A = this chain, B = another copy of it.
């Protein structure tokens, strides 16, 4: 059995957006008891992470980390057609994830206690982001 669904997530600019419950809902409706769930993002300036879900300051600190190692408007970058957040967004995407695979057990993603699924928008302005979720066994 393999079920594939697409969802859209509207972001309102740089930051993390939790999609754990959207993913769990698709897994539950797929009625896969034991298997795997794959979440894919169809973009090169937004990415996915599994991250601590209890304290929002973790995601703020992750932004600070990225701002330090891949800052906006870095004069070293030549690709800046879309502005100072253009290349920084591509770099941040490259060193995080475009896809996440999560085990499914008892009909649900078996995430650790502190693991949440986050879409990470790396562009300053919001946009609609497309995800494809595939559940199978």
Instruction: Find out whether the CB atom of B40 lies under 8 angstroms from the CB atom of A44.
Output: no
* Cross-chain contact A49 with B100 (CB below 8 angstroms): no
* B-facing residues in A63-102 (Cβ within 8 Å): 64-65, 68-70, 76-79, 81, 87, 90-91, 94-102
Instruction: Out of B61, B103, B137, name the residue touching A132 (CB < 8 Å).
Output: B103
Whether A52 pairs with B90 at a CB distance below 8 angstroms is yes
A100 and B101 alpha carbons, distance in the complex (Å): 8
B57, B102, B115, B134: the one within 8 Å of A44 (CB): B115
Contacts of A115 in B (CB 8 A): 42-44, 98
Say if the beta carbon of A20 comes within 8 Å of chain B: no
Determine if A124 is an interface residue (Cβ-Cβ < 8 Å). Answer: no
Identify the A interface with B (CB < 8 A).
2, 4, 34-36, 38, 40-45, 49-52, 55, 57-58, 60-62, 64-65, 68-70, 76-79, 81, 87, 90-91, 94-103, 105, 110-115, 130, 132, 134, 136-137
